[in-house]
Amino acid sequence: MNPARVLAMQGTKAQSFGVSGGGGTPFTQVDAAALCAGLPEKHYYAGLLKWGVDQTVERNLVLYLLQAVAGIAGREKWTSRKGRLEALCMLAVNELGHPERYTDAAHQRNLLFMRVDGSYPAPWETRLVFLGQWDIQISKSQWYAVWSKRYEAVFAMLDGWAGNAYRHVSRVQQEDYCDEC
């Protein structure tokens, strides 16, 4: 079974994926959980958010990410006002769980994003609006000079965790398949 579907089965809104393989027994949530066993918690949460669309893990994921980002910020000597790193982590988690909100194509298909003049905001503007919810004001020049690079590093780390979950499930499935041979 596709690892993304396995991770999706672990989500709070999981559904039955029917029969595994060639018409054998039904693939259950317990089977999916067994394939996820041994995953680091932060990778498991990232996989759940990305493929399981499980927003219940968002807060825990923000905390894991903030811990990792604080380490990077210390090493790289990032200067930042209080709350900006946490908001950056919340933005990354939000984008991983709702990627459709942050693409040009999504904006142009969704009238909710349309401005009064008929234009659509760029993805960077949507990100700044998200950050503005926490009274964090970053100008376009600040975004491109400093924050976009930081954000890319934060999002890449988070997306890497989700990728690790996917690869883990894939590897465990392959090992199980080879054991049956």
Domain ranges of the chain: 3-180
Task: Give residue 9's pLDDT band: very low, low, confident or very high (50, 70, 90).
Answer: confident
- Confidence (pLDDT) at 167: 92
* Rounded-to-integer distance, Cα 88 and Cα 166, Å: 24
Tell me phi and psi for residue 26, to 5 degrees: -60, 145
Rounded Cα gap, residues 92 and 54, in angstroms: 15
Alpha helices by DSSP H, listed for 52-109, are 58-76, 84-97, 104-109
Lowest-pLDDT range of 12-16, 32-36, 68-72, 110-114: 12-16
pLDDT > 70? residue 18: no
Q: Is the pLDDT of residue 109 over 70?
A: no
CA-based radius of gyration for the chain: 19
Reported pTM = 0.79
Q: Which residue has the higher pLDDT, 168 or 104?
A: 168
Mean pLDDT, the chain, rounded, equals: 80
- Counting runs of H as helices and runs of E as strands, what totals does the chain give? 9, 0
Distances (CA, A) of 174 to 10, 113, 138, 162, 180: 19, 43, 46, 19, 10
User: Closest by alpha carbon to 43, among 158, 156, 152?
Assistant: 158
d(CA 71, CA 73): 5
CB 47 within 8 A of CB 8: no
- Would the pLDDT of 23 be above 60? no
Q: Which residues on neighbouring strands pair with residue 26, listed in sequence order?
A: 19
Q: What pLDDT does 15 receive?
A: 46
